[in-house]
């Protein structure tokens, strides 16, 4: 009789890879093997498909139900679940879509998946109170340039060569609205506020500014990133926008830096 | 009568009456209306996220209802190393919400680090028993408390058992101090699929070992021309399972009992109605001969 480890290996391969497994079952159930394995195979397919469908409703709508089922099946085999917590499952769908569709007319699908994964992360990230600019009133003006801001945990920033925000937005309602894929790059801020997860399109300069802050760079460097991205960048406006959207969680003074 | 924070203080034990599994579609009812349900069970992994709306809701619900945390992802029967990160997250949740009951399954889910995220049956062998004893010991030690282990439904007996499953569970409970979460619908499903008599299982478990009972509905599916009874949690409890429940109550006495419903979820009132029926059986259960 196979060891417990061998049994579990046989079962996994039989369920996920559809391999035959005559030595998996005891004599009592030998005549049932194929049909009964079908229950577990169906459970796995449906469970993983449902998990992906909940996380990626826009991708599913874009490719259609049948194609999405095929993607889910490929994903289950090529990117197996690595956790007993299904909340982690699906993180690499964009990678699979890149493999399948990069350099095709459907190249945008991977970035739409990245955006939907960012939404999923924002929904479950740690709670964090928003930052009020009034907290800066006590900071000496000489220290402004060296300030480093922390972003709230649910905040995600995503940039794409495709109009991913427009695609996502167009697929939030029941009616079909065509999107011009040559519309150009879009930069998206995903955050979670009291009312739930929100998505906002950011201009190039504000996005570069926010990206720099997210990377831990100083306010001066973030302003430089914004100015490098667009000539008419205005740091005060960008900071106000990020504050209103509850992007920031706090800041560190230059004196707080650890050498 | 409605549940209020005063009536159901934090840290209160789960009463020996019938509660229901909390599902997201019903969360609003428990926040806004405090329906009269004595206790609630949640899937532990649904609260593994760091923050968000689910935690905000459960924090409010916790102030009015005793909770049970029912895990589906620890994969205790797997030969893979015990997932310490998963166990530690469960520990944090237990500390945060102080549930009256914590449970997991007599099953495995992963091999080689790859998860099926399903509750796959273990063979009732000495090797599997020794393995489960170590895993339950490690889990209880890390959590600092007793857990309950649930018998699972099975469609294919993987490996040849060396003992009846109730003997496996009884020895596991005796050696680790864990309790048994007796899923009566799973017993019925296994009786239909394998011929393993549910009544024998109930009669073979020691009195005092059962800390909770699960009740649920199932459905019959056709796989390659063969009828298989599948534990779908998608219907009312069937008459045969209610009879087995009467038998279990007659043997084990009043035990916290849960109505589980996951697919094709009906109005909350249907689940409450099922729970009321379980309560009625508990009221008269001692009079029923096992």
Asked if A74 and A119 sit in the same domain, the reply is no
C-alpha A190/C-alpha A206 separation (Å) is: 14
Q: How many domains does chain A have?
A: 2
Asked if A131 and A37 sit in the same domain, the reply is no
Nearest to A34 among B48, B118, B224 (CB): B224
Task: Give the tens place of pLDDT for each residue, B28-63.
Answer: 999 998 899 999 999 999 999 999 999 999 999 999
Task: Give the tens place of pLDDT for each residue, B136-184.
Answer: 999 999 999 999 999 999 998 888 889 999 999 999 999 999 999 999 9
If you ran DSSP here, which 8-state letter would residue A175 be given? S
Q: What does the CA dihedral A79, A83, A89, A95 come to, rounded to 10 degrees?
A: -30
Which chain A residue lies closest to B220 (C-alpha atoms)? A39
- Contact status of A176 with chain B (Cβ, < 8 Å): no
Asked if A155 and A246 sit in the same domain, the reply is yes
Which range marks the domain in which residue A86 is found?
Answer: 1-107
Asked if A167 and A197 sit in the same domain, the reply is yes
Cβ distance of A87 and B48 shorter than 8 Å: yes
Cβ distance of B159 and A16 shorter than 8 Å: no
Which chain A residue lies closest to B121 (C-alpha atoms)? A8
Domain finish residue from A56, A77, A107: A107
Element (H, E) at B111: strand B107-111
Domain finish residue from A107, A136, A151: A107
Asked if A146 and A253 sit in the same domain, the reply is yes
Asked if A103 and A113 sit in the same domain, the reply is no
**Contact (CB, 8 A) for B153 and B107:** no
Take residue B17 and report the two structure tokens written for it. Answer: 């009456």
Asked if A98 and A128 sit in the same domain, the reply is no
Task: Give the tens place of pLDDT for each residue, A17-63.
Answer: 988 887 787 666 666 777 888 999 999 999 999 999 999 999 999 99
Sort out which chain B residues have CB atoms less than 8 A from A1's CB and list them: 159-160
Nearest to A7 among B51, B83, B159 (CB): B159
Asked if A33 and A73 sit in the same domain, the reply is yes
C-alpha B83/C-alpha B89 separation (Å) is: 10
Q: What is the mean pLDDT of chain A?
A: 93
Nearest to A36 among B108, B118, B155 (CB): B155
If you ran DSSP here, which 8-state letter would residue B159 be given? B
Asked if A66 and A152 sit in the same domain, the reply is no
Q: What is the structure's pLDDT at A259?
A: 43
Domain finish residue from A91, A107, A123: A107
Token pair 């009536």 is found at B7
Helix, strand, coil fractions of chain B, as percent rounded to 5: 40, 20, 40
Cβ distance of B55 and A127 shorter than 8 Å: yes
Residue B94 binned pLDDT confidence (cut-offs 50, 70, 90): very high
Asked if A245 and A124 sit in the same domain, the reply is yes
Sort out which chain B residues have CB atoms less than 8 A from A32's CB and list them: 156, 226
| Residue ranges for chain A with pLDDT beneath 50 | 259
Nearest to A39 among B55, B73, B155 (CB): B155
Tell me the three state secondary structure of residue A199.
strand
Minimal C-alpha gap between A3 and chain B (Å) = 8
Asked if A30 and A154 sit in the same domain, the reply is no
Asked if A113 and A215 sit in the same domain, the reply is yes
Tell me the three state secondary structure of residue B208.
coil
């Amino acid at each position: 009789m196979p060891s417990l480890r061998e049994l579990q290996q046989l079962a996994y391969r039989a369920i996920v890879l559809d391999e035959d497994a005559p030595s998996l079952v005891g004599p009592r159930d030998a005549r049932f093997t194929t049909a009964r394995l079908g229950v577990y195979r169906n459970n796995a397919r449906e469970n993983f498909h449902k998990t992906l469908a909940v996380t990626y409703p826009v991708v599913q709508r874009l490719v259609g139900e049948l194609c999405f089922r095929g993607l889910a099946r490929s994903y289950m085999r090529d990117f197996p679940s690595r956790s007993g917590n299904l909340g982690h499952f699906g993180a690499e769908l964009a990678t699979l879509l890149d493999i399948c569709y990069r350099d095709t007319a459907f190249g945008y699908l991977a970035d739409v998946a990245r955006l939907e994964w960012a939404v999923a992360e924002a929904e479950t990230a740690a709670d964090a109170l928003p930052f009020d600019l009034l907290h800066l009133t006590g900071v000496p003006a000489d220290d402004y340039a060296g300030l480093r801001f922390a972003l709230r945990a649910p905040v995600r920033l995503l940039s794409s060569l495709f109009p991913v925000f427009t695609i996502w937005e167009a697929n939030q309602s029941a009616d079909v609205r065509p999107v011009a894929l040559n519309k150009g790059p879009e930069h998206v801020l995903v955050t979670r506020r009291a009312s739930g997860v929100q998505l906002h399109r950011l201009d190039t300069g504000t996005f570069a500014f926010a990206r720099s802050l997210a990377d831990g760079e100083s306010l001066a460097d973030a302003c430089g990133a914004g100015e490098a991205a667009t000539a008419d960048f205005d740091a005060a406006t960008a900071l106000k926008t990020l504050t209103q959207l509850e992007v920031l969680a706090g800041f560190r003074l230059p004196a707080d830096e650890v050498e | 009568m409605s549940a209020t924070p005063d009536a159901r203080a934090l840290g209160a034990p789960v009463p020996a009456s019938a509660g229901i599994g909390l599902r997201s579609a019903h969360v609003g009812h428990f926040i806004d209306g405090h329906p009269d349900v004595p206790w609630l069970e949640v899937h532990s992994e649904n609260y593994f996220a760091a923050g968000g709306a689910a935690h905000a809701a459960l924090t409010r619900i916790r102030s009015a209802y005793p909770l049970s945390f029912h895990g589906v992802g620890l994969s205790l029967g797997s030969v893979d190393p015990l997932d310490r990160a998963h166990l530690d997250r469960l520990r944090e949740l237990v500390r945060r919400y102080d549930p009256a009951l914590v449970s997991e399954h007599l099953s495995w889910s992963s091999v080689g680090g790859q998860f099926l995220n399903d509750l796959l049956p273990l063979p009732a062998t000495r090797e599997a028993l020794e393995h489960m004893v170590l895993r339950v010991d490690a889990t209880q030690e890390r959590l600092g408390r007793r857990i309950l282990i649930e018998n699972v439904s099975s469609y294919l007996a993987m490996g040849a058992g060396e003992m009846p499953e109730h003997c496996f569970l009884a020895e596991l409970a005796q050696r680790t101090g864990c309790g048994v979460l007796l899923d009566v619908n799973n017993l019925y499903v296994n009786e239909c699929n394998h011929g393993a008599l549910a009544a024998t299982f109930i009669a073979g478990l020691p009195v005092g070992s059962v800390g909770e009972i699960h009740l649920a509905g199932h459905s019959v599916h056709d796989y390659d021309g063969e009828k298989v009874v599948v534990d779908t949690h998608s219907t009312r409890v069937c008459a045969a399972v209610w009879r087995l429940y009467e038998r279990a109550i007659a043997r084990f006495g009043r035990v916290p009992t849960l109505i589980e419903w996951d697919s094709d979820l009906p109005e909350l009132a249907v689940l409450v109605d099922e729970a009321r029926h379980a309560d009625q059986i508990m009221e008269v259960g001692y009079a029923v001969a096992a």
